Amino acid sequence: MKLFTDHLMLRTLELDDAEQIRELAGDYDIAKSTLNIPHPYPEGAAEEFIKRTHESFKEGNNYHFAIVRKLDDKLLGTIALGITPKHKRAELAYWIGKPYWGQGYMTEAGIGMMKFGFDDLDLNRICAHAFSTNLASSRVMQKIGMTYEGTLVQHVYKWEQYYDLVAYGIVKQTYQELVAR
C-alpha cells in the first residue's frame, strides 16, 4: 500500500529496507525515546520486524509504513497506527532517522497517517504518547492537531528507570473541523 503527501511516500516496508532501518534505528537517540527499539540493534532484528509488519498489516491490527522521501527515494523512518477495532481507535507511533530531524517530515507523515486513519480506516480516535522529556515528539503531536490530555505518571519502566508519558489525542470530528478550515 502507498500513501502520498507533498514530499513523502508512506509505503509498506520491504525486506530491502532492513539495512537502512538498522542504520537509522540503531542510533542511541532513537532507541532512548521509543519503547520497542532495542539498543544495540541486533543482527536480523530489522528483517524480523519487517516480516511482523506484513503479518499485522494483513490482520489489520497495525498499519506500519516506511516514510520515504519522494525526492531521492530515501527511507527516513517509520510510522504506524496500532488499531483497537472494537473502539474504532488507534495509537500513532513513529521515529525518524537523526539526519532528517527538524525538517518537518514527521509532521507531514503524521498528517498523512491521520488522513488514512480517519478517512480510509474510519477510525473515531487517534492517540499518541511520548516520554514527557521528548519535547520534539510533543511538538509533532501538537502540530498535527492533537490535544494534550494528561500525563501518565511513571507509566513505563525502561533501562532501569520509570518515565512519565504525555498523552495526546484527536477525534474524527475535530480532525474534520481542522481539514475544513
Q: How many of the other CB atoms lie within 10 Å of CB of 152?
A: 14
Q: Which of 41, 63, 65, 105 binds ligand COA (CB under 6 A)?
A: 105
Residue from 139, 150, 153, 156 that binds ligand COA (CB under 6 A)?
Answer: 139
Least Cβ distance, residue 129 to ligand COA (angstroms): 6
Alpha-carbon distance 84 to 67, whole Å?
A: 23
Stretch that binds ligand COA, among 2-10, 56-64, 101-109, 172-180 (CB under 6 A): 101-109
Residue number, 35 or 173, with CB nearest to ligand COA: 35
Quick one: 158 or 173, whose CB is closer to ligand COA? 158
Give dist(CA 95, CA 26) in Å, integer. 12
Are 110 and 168 spatial neighbours (Cβ–Cβ below 8 Å)? no
8 A C-beta contact, residue 55 and residue 110: no
Q: Does 163 bind ligand COA (CB under 6 A)?
A: no
SS3 68: strand
The one segment of 13-21, 44-52, 91-99, 114-122 that binds ligand COA by CB under 6 A: 91-99
CB 97 within 8 A of CB 27: yes
Cis peptide before 38 (omega within 30 of 0): no
| Listed ranges 41-49, 54-62, 98-106, 155-163: which one lies at the site for ligand COA (CB under 6 A) | 98-106
Kindly list the residues in this chain that would bind ligand COA in the complex (CB under 6 A).
30, 33-34, 94-96, 101-107, 130, 134-137, 139-140
